[in-house]
């Protein structure tokens, strides 16, 4: 049995997972006066939070994701002042490009509702793109959608700043602690059983990222989480990539590139594949075949790197997500809150998610979004992709 009888609570909240979502939730709850313990089976941020490109993106294909990014932006812009740690936030904006009529129509429709929502988005033809960024003279795409807000930051610095704040303000982080069961009494979750002992709490938060499905199963829940493996490279082209280059996303070939400082670039992309991976057993290193292909495709798409450019470093990670690429955010059972399945948007949305989870814990209606669209029950029927701009 994975659920046992719980006794008295040892803390107000136990959070499973010390990634960016878990730490952001801990930070908000501690600020609200709660006693918090964060359990992490490895080290803080060692899961997927530091295996991404560090993107902060306002240009999304769903109103929910736009709302969550907008609600999170002030946090990122004020991070250094609040935490005393420079997150190295760089504002590049994002430029989605295409020559496909279907993608063209989508970008134009998206730009219309973006502008209605106050998101600075412009549709640019090929000549205007090259005029705005002369060093992108090799771009051959018919149209681009440019959002001037957003960019990237150093996720390692963010994890350091958040865990430091959690500890300094009275929270406890327990690395090397694997959750093996849940405690319950009277139909309410009241703590967890772990590899290092029991932790009682009034509320348990499942922020376990790629392992969120495992925690859900311990509670007898079947939430269709899925993880997609992605790969990233830092490369050094012969000609330095200017820092004012926007984050470039080729929707046709499914490849993307952004500057990484010092003339380097980060390159990634699914290249037409969208494979599900087992979080417990996947290759964490980039593959030589993909590295050769993605550099060649990026070179053809953007003209900023040569196909054989130097690889500085590379890695693979997971986008822990769901069937529609939107998260599950709810009280799944009395005493058990689920905040998982962000499909690559966890870093950029963590500040808003922390506040929403704090409101759920306190029995308040969230201010940022209507949570009804993010309940796991939405998967009971036929479900299509709701977020079409993930990369």
pLDDT (average), residues 343-370: 94
What is the pTM for the complete model shown?
0.94
Three-state DSSP class for residue 188:
strand
CA 275 → CA 69, 194, 208, distances in Å? 26, 31, 21
The band of 7, judged by pLDDT with boundaries at 50, 70 and 90, is very low
CA 38 → CA 171, 190, 334, 350, distances in Å? 8, 15, 19, 15
Residue 1 has pLDDT above 60, yes or no: no
Domains 3-50+156-225+324-380 and 92-149+226-321 share a fold: no
Three-state DSSP class for residue 98:
strand
Residue 86 has pLDDT above 60, yes or no: yes
Q: Taking the domain 92-149+226-321, which CATH number applies?
A: 3.30.9.10
pLDDT tens for residues 281-290? 999 999 999 9
What does the mean pLDDT of the chain come to?
A: 94
pLDDT tens for residues 171-197? 999 999 999 999 999 999 999 999 999
Is 341 buried (19+), middle (13-18) or exposed (0-12) by CB count in 10 A?
A: buried
The CATH H-level superfamily of 3-50+156-225+324-380 is FAD/NAD(P)-binding domain (3.50.50.60)
Alpha-helix runs per DSSP H in the chain: 20-31, 63-77, 79-83, 101-116, 126-132, 155-168, 212-218, 288-302, 346-361
Going by C-beta distance under 8 Å and a sequence separation of 6 or more, which residues neighbour residue 72? 56, 348, 349, 350, 351, 352
pLDDT tens for residues 293-324? 999 999 999 999 999 999 999 999 999 999 99
Domain positions in the chain: 3-50+156-225+324-380, 92-149+226-321
Parallel, antiparallel or unpaired: strands 188-194 and 197-206: antiparallel
Q: CA 230 to CA 252: how far, in whole Å?
A: 17
pLDDT (average), residues 330-343: 98
């Amino acid at each position: 049995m994975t659920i046992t009888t719980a006794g008295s609570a040892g803390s107000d909240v136990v959070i499973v997972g010390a990634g960016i979502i878990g730490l952001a939730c801990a930070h908000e709850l501690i600020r609200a006066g709660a006693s918090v313990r964060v359990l992490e089976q490895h080290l803080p941020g060692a899961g997927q939070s530091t295996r991404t490109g560090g993107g902060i993106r306002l240009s999304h294909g769903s109103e929910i994701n736009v709302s969550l990014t907008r609600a999170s932006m002030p946090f990122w812009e004020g991070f250094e002042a609040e935490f005393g740690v420079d997150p190295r936030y760089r504002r590049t904006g994002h430029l989605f490009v295409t020559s496909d009529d279907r993608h063209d129509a989508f970008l134009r429709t998206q730009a219309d509702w973006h502008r209605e929502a106050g998101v600075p988005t412009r549709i640019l033809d090929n000549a205007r793109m090259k005029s705005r960024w002369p060093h992108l003279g090799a771009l051959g795409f018919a149209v681009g959608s440019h959002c001037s807000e957003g960019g990237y930051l150093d996720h390692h610095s963010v994890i350091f700043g958040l865990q430091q704040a959690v500890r300094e303000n009275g929270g406890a982080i327990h690395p090397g602690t694997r959750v093996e069961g849940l405690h319950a009494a009277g139909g309410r979750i009241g703590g967890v059983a772990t590899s290092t002992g029991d932790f009682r709490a009034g509320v348990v938060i499942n922020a376990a990222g790629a392992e969120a499905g495992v925690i859900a199963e311990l509670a007898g829940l079947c939430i269709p989480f899925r993880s997609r493996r992605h790969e990233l490279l830092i490369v050094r082209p012969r000609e330095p990539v200017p820092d004012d280059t926007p984050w470039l996303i080729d929707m046709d070939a499914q490849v993307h590139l952004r500057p990484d400082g010092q003339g380097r670039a980060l390159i990634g992309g699914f290249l037409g594949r969208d494979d599900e991976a087992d979080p417990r057993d996947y290759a964490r290193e980039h593959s030589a075949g993909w590295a050769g292909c993605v550099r060649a495709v990026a070179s053809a798409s953007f003209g900023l790197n040569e196909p054989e450019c130097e690889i500085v470093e590379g890695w693979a990670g997971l986008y822990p997500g769901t069937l529609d690429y939107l998260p599950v955010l709810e009280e799944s059972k009395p005493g058990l809150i689920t905040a998982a399945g962000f499909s690559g948007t966890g870093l950029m949305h963590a500040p808003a998610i922390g506040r929403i989870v704090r409101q759920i814990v306190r029995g308040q209606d969230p201010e940022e979004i209507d949570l009804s669209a993010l309940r796991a029950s939405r998967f009971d029927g036929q479900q299509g992709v709701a977020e079409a701009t993930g990369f």
